[in-house]
Amino acid sequence: MAELDGKIAVVTGGASGIGEGSVRLFVEEGARVVIADMQVERGEALAAELGDAAVFARVEVSQEADVKAAVDLAVSRWGRLDIIFNNAGFGGVIGPIEEIPVDEFDMTYNVLVRGVFLGMKHATPIMKKQGSGSIINTGSIAGMVSGYGPHAYSGAKSAVIQMTKSVAMELGEHNIRVNAICPGFIATPLSANCVGRPDELVEKVKSTFGKSQAIPRSGLPEDIAQMACWLGGDRSTFVTAQAMVVDGGCISGLKWADQRSFQREFHLTKFYRPDE
């Protein structure tokens, strides 16, 4: 039996990048999916390609009515909601702290934090009634370790991780699991700053990602999709309140070759003895 056989899912940001990779894998593994995204042309094309297993809904995740409509669409079309993957996001406002405009800061949090909150809020009543469900939120290594993202993005992803854990502690008694996935450097339109633009631009970032991590390649949307698929399926029923890092070893430290370089540079190639 397929990993997600018969399950119903909503994936926000489902028209490209990690979202698209997850939609494709979910369908391949037997799920039916609402593709919730602002990119109408791309979302409709993906739904048409996947046939009866998918439907597109135009959703701006900061808008409560849009998020609720996507959840309602899943229930009205297929009768239930087993998985919501609150994945939609963007890089947000950048720059030194004293130069960040307040309205752009607010917009960043509206998408990255409010959007996740709304997804959890509207999925919860359905899942409570069913007595089961898996809520998956996209965090980031930038929410765990400083220096991997802009200020607002890093703070927002940290908020997502903590909110994930808090909500998991509420919903566990209803057999609803809540987890976050924290990607590292993944080659997506978001990472290439080209959402809605040609996919060829994504290829340019692949050569720059992964050079200093344990697994020396760029992360791919499929890497995150595999984790989302596992968290949405029945093999992870004892896993909740977790921030699952999928980063090729990025935040764990220097890869061995880089450590050796560091050691050579600072003459740390033999044991230190106080009398030398």
pLDDT at 110: 98
pTM of the predicted model as reported, rounded to 2 decimal places: 0.90
Say if residues 54 and 27 touch (Cβ distance below 8 Å).
yes
Q: Is 109 part of the annotated catalytic residue set?
A: no
Query: Which one is catalytic: 109, 148, 153, 272?
Result: 153
| pLDDT of amino acid 194 | 47
Which residues, other chains included, contact 17 with Cβ-Cβ below 8 Å and sequence gap of 6+?
186, 188, 189, 190, 195, 221
Helix 17-28 × helix 40-50 angle, to 10°: 10
What's the pLDDT at 276? 45
Instruction: Tell me 12's DSSP state.
Output: E
Q: Any residues with CB less than 8 A from the CB of 110 and at least 6 apart, and which?
A: 62
Cα–Cα dist 148/111, whole Å:
19
The CATH code for residues 8-265 is 3.40.50.720
User: How is the chain split into domains, by residue range?
Assistant: 8-265
Local structure of residue 179 (DSSP, 8 states):
E
Measured on CA atoms in the order 196, 199, 200, 206, is the torsion positive or negative? positive
Query: 220: which 2 tokens?
Result: 């791919």
Q: What pLDDT tens digit does each residue of the chain (276 aa) get? A: 799 999 999 999 999 999 999 999 999 999 999 999 999 999 999 999 999 999 999 999 999 999 999 999 999 999 999 999 999 999 999 999 999 999 999 999 999 999 999 999 999 999 999 999 999 999 999 999 999 999 999 999 999 999 999 999 999 999 999 999 999 999 876 655 544 444 565 566 655 666 778 998 889 999 999 999 999 999 999 999 999 999 999 999 877 776 666 556 655 555 445 554
